[in-house]
Amino acid sequence: MKAHTKETQATMTPQKSLQFLKEGNQRFQNNLKANRNLLEQVNDTSEGQFPFATILSCIDSRVSAELVFDQGLGDIFSIRIAGNFVNEDILGSMEFASKLAGTKLIVVLGHTSCGAIKGACDHARLGNLTALINKIEPAVAAVKEPVDESLRNSGNLEFVDKVAKKNVEITIENIRARSRVLAEMEENGEIMIVGAMYDISSGAVEFY
């Protein structure tokens, strides 16, 4: 499989880009890989890059977007931060990726058993991590069940995963609310902004 060129990127639509990622994750789950020469892709992308998607994911070592979607060099922009939330710098990166570099799809990828989400559920406080956790805690408050406070912590993995999904939804809302550039591009059909959850036990990505 060749690296994307300006011509192949131009043929990509938001829907086609999403399908590419779904097919890549299916290959990953089946322990298959597209036939690609990475060193050849290094050469092919040495004078330019033409990715088709931008993926915001967690820093978790088990959730590498390039691997779980079976993508090569030059295929995707990968933004990683614990808890996969957005701030001004990440929004600027997304605007660059979409408006200037031509990606057609933004994916906010959460995952099961997320450590940052667990920290938010437990209201952890530790150095600079405190400020990061504070940005995720609105997702904890937004999940209303269970009501019992003794079940609203990292020991309840079902609750953790509900918060992780809600955090993805809130992040997408924040992208649309805080980036007029991206919101307009989505309204015009130039890009799609979608959420997804990666299951660390199966390797499967569920889009929603």
CA 190 distance to own-chain centroid: 18
Q: Which two tokens stand for residue 32?
A: 């298959």
Q: What is the pLDDT of residue 196?
A: 98
Q: Which two tokens stand for residue 89?
A: 């710098």
* Helix, strand and coil percent figures for the chain, each rounded to 5: 50, 15, 40
114 marked as binding residue: yes
111 marked as binding residue: yes
Residue type at 152 in one-letter notation: R
pLDDT in tens, the chain (208 residues): 888 888 888 999 999 999 999 999 999 999 999 888 888 899 888 888 999 999 999 999 999 999 999 999 999 999 999 999 999 999 999 999 999 999 999 999 999 999 999 999 999 999 999 999 999 999 999 999 999 999 999 999 999 999 999 999 999 999 999 999 999 999 999 999 999 999 999 999 999 9
60 marked as binding residue: yes
Q: What is the pLDDT of residue 70?
A: 97
pTM of the model: 0.95
Tell me the domain boundaries of the chain.
6-114+172-207
Domain 6-114+172-207 has CATH 3.50.30.30: no
